[in-house]
Each structure stands twice: as structure tokens, then as C-alpha cells.
């Protein structure tokens, strides 16, 4: 199986991963990109719809993977413990199956402040573990040194609209709450609304 230049993107439907998809797609042929979308029974499942929609718009294959419900997200804590470790582990498995040597995740500098599994040290450690197991898959986080504002500027370049992504953790009647940390961070991105 040819593995050269194949990329697997962990796609959530939020600002970071959707912008990352368009950025990679602007430089790489659609047949070299696959998106992996996780259904982990998240209460903000609207993100799944937008992840699939953007994969279709970019003309790339997407795989939806169902996982057991991942707990931890509450009104007191916006962190799903070890979520990215789960996603990366399954992602490496899928990357090996489809022949992708690059697994890409949308972690960024603003998320690294609050989410332990979005930090460089964590991603580096996951990469070491993957290589130690003998798998030829590189874990990449191209936005790791970019802020939400910088990602928002790139999103505007690709004409990504705020009403065509989903970041909210606590939706109210199928609409973003506008108050959770994800909604507040989206405001700093300053992306177009229409």
C-alpha cells in the first residue's frame, strides 16, 4: 500500500480542525487526505454534522468512528480527561490501516493553556510511544504555536463561517450557549458570521 504523503486528520467540526482541513486541502490532493470523526456520545454532537459537511465540501474521504461515551465534561469541568490520547491511539490504528504516515490534530496555543492533552509535551510523548511501538506514523499539530485569533484569520481566508462550525460544549436548544469556554474562545477568533 502506498503511504507517501497520505494524511489522516482528526476532524471535530470545530474551528481548529475545520480550518486545518482547509489549510491542508489547499496544499494537498483530496485523495491523499482522510478525516477521522469521533462519535463519543458527546452532548455537543452537532459538531459531527459540521465535520462531515466540511469533509464533503473539501472532497475528502471521512470515517466516523463510534467510541464508548467519554465522561468528565460537566458544568464544573470542561475537560474530558485523556480524550486526545484516546483519539490519537485510535487514529494511529486507522492511519496504519489506510497507509497514512501523518496523523494531524488541531491543538493550538490557547487550548494548551487549559487542556493538558493539547500541550506539546503530551503530543511529543504520544509520538515517542507510537515510534517505540514501531509504527511509522508521525503525530503533527501544525497550529500548536498559533492562537485562536491567528486561526480565525486563516479561517476567514478560507471563507469558513462561525455558523458553519461547532465549538460549544453546552448547547441550549441546539444553539451555542455563548458562555462556555469554547464559545468564549471562538469570540476571540473573530471569524466571519455570514
Does position 83 have pLDDT exceeding 90, yes or no?
yes
Question: In terms of pLDDT, which residue wins out, 116 or 2?
Answer: 116
Q: What is the mean pLDDT of the chain?
A: 92
State how far Cα 13 lies from the chain centre. 7
pTM above 0.85, yes or no: yes
Domains in the chain, CATH or no CATH each = 7-189 (3.40.50.620)
- CA torsion through residues 108, 111, 117, 122, sign: positive
The pLDDT score that the predictor gives to residue 151 is 97
- Provide the CB-side half-sphere exposure for 20 (13 A, CA): 28
Amino acid at each position: 500500500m502506498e503511504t507517501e504523503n497520505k494524511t489522516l486528520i482528526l476532524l471535530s467540526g470545530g474551528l481548529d480542525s475545520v480550518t486545518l482541513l482547509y489549510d491542508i486541502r489547499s496544499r494537498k490532493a483530496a485523495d491523499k487526505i482522510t478525516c477521522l470523526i469521533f462519535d463519543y456520545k458527546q452532548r455537543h454532537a452537532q459538531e459531527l454534522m459540521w465535520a462531515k459537511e466540511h469533509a464533503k465540501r473539501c472532497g475528502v474521504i471521512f470515517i466516523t468512528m463510534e467510541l464508548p461515551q467519554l465522561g468528565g465534561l460537566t458544568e464544573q469541568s470542561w475537560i474530558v480527561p485523556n480524550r486526545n490520547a484516546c483519539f490519537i491511539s485510535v487514529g494511529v490504528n486507522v492511519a496504519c490501516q489506510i497507509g497514512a504516515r501523518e496523523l494531524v490534530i488541531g491543538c493550538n496555543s490557547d487550548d494548551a493553556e487549559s487542556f493538558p492533552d493539547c500541550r506539546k509535551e503530551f503530543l511529543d510523548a504520544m509520538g515517542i510511544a507510537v515510534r517505540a511501538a514501531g509504527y511509522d506514523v508521525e503525530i503533527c499539530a501544525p497550529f500548536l504555536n498559533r492562537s485562536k485569533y491567528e486561526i480565525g484569520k486563516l479561517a476567514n481566508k478560507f471563507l469558513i463561517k462561525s455558523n458553519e462550525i461547532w465549538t460549544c460544549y453546552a448547547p441550549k436548544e441546539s444553539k451555542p450557549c455563548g458562555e462556555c469556554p469554547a464559545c468564549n474562545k471562538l469570540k476571540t477568533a473573530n471569524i466571519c458570521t455570514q
